[in-house]
Homo-oligomer: A and B are copies of this chain.
Amino acid sequence: MPMIGPNALFSNLLDDKEVADAFGEAATLKHYIAFEVALAYALEKAGLAETGAGLAVDQLAGTFQPDVAVIAQKTSEDGVTIPEFVRQFRAHVGETYAKAIHTGATSQDVMDTATVLSLKETAGILSGRIDQLNAALRSLCEQASGVEIMGRTRMQAALPIPLTARIDVWQRSIAAITQTLDEVTTSLPVQLGGAVGTRHAFGDKGQEITDEIAGRLGLVSSSSCWHAQRDILVRYADVLSRLTGSLAKLGQDVALMVQQGVDELTIRSGGSSSAMPHKRNPVKAEVLVSLGRYNAIHLSGMHQAVIHEQERSGAAWTLEWMILPSMCMAAGKALSLSVELVKSLDVPKT
């Protein structure tokens, strides 16, 4: 989870509430519960929990209200949220079925699976906005039809090009990245390894249980756990940064195009200035550049976190929590801003 530095003054400018919610405590707890319910069903099916355990845990989950404050308090000692979460959930479920909860699993199984579910939800949000952006760009292309601008290389006037040629570069980037986003999203696996990643507590039923949980959660199953092999998360982060980088190129281009003396595009509603009321600042275009550089920096952190020692690295894992949700929010916000920016652009009448 990201470092938290709430300043409400900037929330509309920089935050992405929808993506933030996908990583907030409500969604996270929902994912934890979903994992434990799926595990209970799977344990029962494998004969490792008594008959009816799955349904019972499932039904009792409906009335479970975790005490967030207590979990947060214990997390500062445990470094993970799950020991106290499980304690509360077991207490809620009662003695009969308590053993169907978390048996054979470890904190990282629950937390990584929750992260993956948040990433999947994020991918859905991003996809919807990518569709909007593509539509806005197609509409801009129609407006731009037949218009020539000066092609500029190394920031110098070169030769005229169709305005649509520049827009086309933006579109192709997004298309390429969307393809990888889909590939990675449909590869997101459930996490199940148990204490040291070997699924030892499940005997010979480890794979069957993993398959069952994956099926119930709509995730890919995996033939082994990935506690210490973070490649899938890194691939997801790579896509996020490719996306924000491409949108930053769009933003940088727009900021250059609306310069006085260049005037290749205009923005209908730019930001106002406290000292110069006549200005219309390309605020959204600039923030796209900020978000692109922001994710490029953070990606470095995700790749540092690949160096994940032994069976579980508290240091590398915690670093992921501080970075990955922020990258998702930056990607979400960049898409929203891109849609708004492109819709606000006018092609000058020649």
Contacts and interface: CB of A to CB of B under 8 A. Distances in A.
Interface of A: 1-15, 20, 23-25, 28-29, 68-69, 71-73, 75-83, 86, 102, 105-107, 110, 150-162, 165-166, 168-169, 172-173, 176-177, 180, 194-198, 200, 224, 226-229, 231, 234-235, 238, 241-242, 245-246, 248-249, 251-253, 255-256, 258-263, 269-276, 279-283, 286-287, 289-290, 292-301, 303-316, 318-319, 321-323, 325-326, 329-330
Contacts of A68: 8-9
A296 B287 contact: no
B79 A283 contact: yes
A58 to B, nearest CB: 20
A303 B311 contact: no
Contacts of A310: 151-153, 155, 166, 253, 256
Given A4-B4, A229-B172, A197 B273 contact: no
Contact of A10 (B1, B12, B234, B248): B1
Contacts of A235: 180, 238, 242
Contact of A318 (B73, B287, B319): B287
A242 B303 contact: yes
A145 to B, nearest CB: 16
Nearest to A310: B152
Given A153-B312, A156-B280, A231-B246, A329 B196 contact: no
Given A173-B231, A290-B318, A303-B296, A80 B14 contact: no
